[in-house]
């Protein structure tokens, strides 16, 4: 929980702040799109900015992708917190809801999918603290479902990113007859305890 930014450092100039946001938005949009290979020049052009400006804000491509991943993990964490706050449904339903939301979220973010699939240590490093938070929340959610007897004994919090990685691959393969919702459903069935009632 250490704040790495020095408090004495000046705030960004107005135009720089604006451009930084545009770059991130452009990158997000392009990574959400069809083409698998998003290039720095593309991002710069789409943000209506020179490549040099992109490099002023991010030391390299991985850092930019890392920021996208970081922001995505913030969304993931919101989903997990929302599930933890849910009093109306059971512990398992809350977990399922969070997983569905996360998978839907990553479905529109090729950068994060890429990070999941490639191991991408460098990329993940930028999001280290959000990922740490993610695992804490996931542990909490999984623990609750276990205590309620609604989860297979051998399912752990660390299985969540693994399973998400698998579904990222299915999404990214972009095969018309591969239904990643269905893939997720199979897994959600699989993580219930043996002999669970039909759903």
Residues near DNA (CB under 7 A): 10, 12-16, 18-19, 37-41, 48-53, 55-57, 59-62
Torsion sign (Cα): 145, 179, 117, 59: negative
Binding track over 132-171 against a second copy, x by CB under 8 A: --------------------x-xx--xx-xxx-xxxxxx-
| Cβ at position 43, least distance to DNA in Å | 8
Which among 119, 143, 6, 139 has a CA at the least distance from the CA of 69? 119
Instruction: Say how far apart CA 95 and CA 144 lie, in whole Å.
Output: 9
**Where would I find the beta strands (DSSP E) of the chain?**
none
Return the one option of DNA, a second copy, none that residue 170 interacts with (CB less than 5 to 8 A, by type): a second copy
Residue 52 interacts with a second copy (CB under 8 A)?
no
Q: Cβ distance 137 to 80 under 8 Å?
A: yes
Return the one option of DNA, a second copy, none that residue 136 interacts with (CB less than 5 to 8 A, by type): none
Residues that bind a second copy (CB under 8 A): 36, 116-119, 152, 154-155, 158-159, 161-163, 165-170, 172-175, 177-179, 182-183, 185-192, 194-199
């Amino acid at each position: 929980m250490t704040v790495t930014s020095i408090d004495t450092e000046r705030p960004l100039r107005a135009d720089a702040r604006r451009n930084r946001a545009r770059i991130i938005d452009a990158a997000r949009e392009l990574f959400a799109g069809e083409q698998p290979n998003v290039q720095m020049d593309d991002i710069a052009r789409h943000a209506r900015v020179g490549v040099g400006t992109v490099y002023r804000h991010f030391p390299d491509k991985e850092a930019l992708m890392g920021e996208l991943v970081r922001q995505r993990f913030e969304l993931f964490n919101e989903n997990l917190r929302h599930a933890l706050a849910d009093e109306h449904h059971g512990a398992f339903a809350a977990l399922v809801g969070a997983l569905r939301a996360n998978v839907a979220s990553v479905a529109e973010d090729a950068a994060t999918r890429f990070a999941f699939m490639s191991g991408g240590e460098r990329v993940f490093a930028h999001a280290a603290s959000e990922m740490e938070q993610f695992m804490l929340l996931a542990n909490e959610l999984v623990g609750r479902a276990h205590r309620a007897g609604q989860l297979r004994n051998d399912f752990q919090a660390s299985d969540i990113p693994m399973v998400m990685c698998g579904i990222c691959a299915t999404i990214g393969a972009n095969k018309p007859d591969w239904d990643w919702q269905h893939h997720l459903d199979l897994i959600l069935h699989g993580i219930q305890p043996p002999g669970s009632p039909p759903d």
